[in-house]
Amino acid sequence: MSRWAIVDGGMTDRPLVDLEDRGYTLGDGLFETIPLYAGKPFGLERHLDRLRDGADRIHLEIPFDNETVRNSLAGLADKNSVDRGVARLTVTRGRGPRGYGTKGCDRPSWTLTLRPYEPVSERMFNAGFRLARVSINKNPSSPLSGLKTISSLEAVLTLDEARKKGADEALVLTTDGHVASGVAVNLFWLKDDTLFTPSCECGILQGVTRRIALDMARHENIQTAQGRFGPDSVSLASEVFVTNSLLEIVPVSCVDGLFDIPGPGPVTRLLKGKYKQLTISGLD
Ligand SMILES: Cc1ncc(COP(=O)(O)O)c(C=O)c1O
């Protein structure tokens, strides 16, 4: 992590966590991961919109306005001399009395940290990700479904299981057997010239990059389909790729017994190229 951070609006080179903060004790909070290109945040407004939507759902007050975050990020990038980086914005319910009750938790806390980020290499892009099937499923009716919560133990365990199988990421299914996503990525596949991705009903996080990929595909006159799809749909794909704000768009070369086609396909390459242009021209 870079030396300088923002804690509750102030810049410091000695960021400290309050041992009674509910983020630390209970995982009671949300976060966003925001990429920086040439020292500038990409998609910041969309990340903040998602954060605010999530905060509404968990009755958490967001203690800053968007301009404050934008200025704080510019200050941090400058002070830490970070050009291509990744910022993490965390908001917690702050200090609270012992136990789970939220009464008296009226001072949410927030931090902003930054670190340099090495983009996915050409070699890694060409090799593609390997996805493993895992035993942990996503429950679309969980109250945490679709939230970017800091309570990430399920993600930790799921990725651990996938990595132990020698994969880079996981193919996570819903509790009723539909394709959902990876652990920290949204999933797409091309079948019969249509780009498929699971819908929000599958309990996925509505990725900022997912939406950009869908918009770019439509702009290129590629048909898109969002819905509940079984793993058999992936097995008929000609291309599979994953998205997130850091990885951008990464081809998948293998999905555990369902898909095995090495090398990025033409649609994956096209969208990756368009995405790269967007990161230069800007989004917001
Ligand atoms: C579960 C999950 N799905 C999808 C994504 C991708 O979201 P985004 O494109 O906003 O980075 C993430 C990002 O961390 C994630 O944790």
Q: In the structure, how many helices (H) and strands (E) does the chain have?
A: 8, 15
- The amino acid present at 173, given as its one-letter code, is L
Do 5-116 and 122-281 fold alike per CATH?
Answer: no
How high does pLDDT run on average in the chain?
97
Query: What's the CA-to-centroid distance between 103 and ligand 1, angstroms?
Result: 31
Rounded to whole angstroms, how far apart are CA atoms 89 and 64? 11
What's the confidence (pLDDT) of residue 284? 57
- Among 201, 272, 206, 200, smallest CA distance to 241 is for 272
Query: What's the CA-to-centroid distance between 104 and ligand 1, angstroms?
Result: 32
**Interior CA angle at 233 toward 230 and 236, to 5°?**
155
- Average pLDDT score over residue span 115-140: 97
- Ligand 1 neighbourhood includes 243 CB (under 6 angstroms): yes
Q: Is residue 142 within 8 Å of residue 130, measured between CB atoms?
A: no
State yes or no: pLDDT of 128 exceeds 60.
yes
Q: Are strands 109-116 and 85-92 parallel, antiparallel or unpaired?
A: antiparallel
Atom of ligand 1 nearest to the CA of 50: 10
- Average pLDDT score over residue span 122-143: 97
- Ligand 1 neighbourhood includes 245 CB (under 6 angstroms): yes
CATH code matching the domain that covers 5-116, chosen among 3.90.1530.10, 3.30.470.10, 1.10.8.60, 3.20.20.70 = 3.30.470.10
- Among 33, 106, 108, 131, smallest CA distance to 73 is for 33
Percent of the chain with pLDDT over 70: 100
Q: Is residue 272 within 8 Å of residue 188, measured between CB atoms?
A: no
- Ligand 1 neighbourhood includes 92 CB (under 6 angstroms): no
CATH code matching the domain that covers 122-281, chosen among 3.20.19.10, 3.20.10.10, 2.60.40.10, 3.60.20.10 = 3.20.10.10
Counting every residue, how long is the chain? 284
Q: What is the pLDDT of residues 24-35, one digit of tens each?
A: 999 999 999 999
- Ligand 1 neighbourhood includes 158 CB (under 6 angstroms): no
For residue 203, the cross-strand partners are none
In the chain, where are the structural domains located? 5-116, 122-281
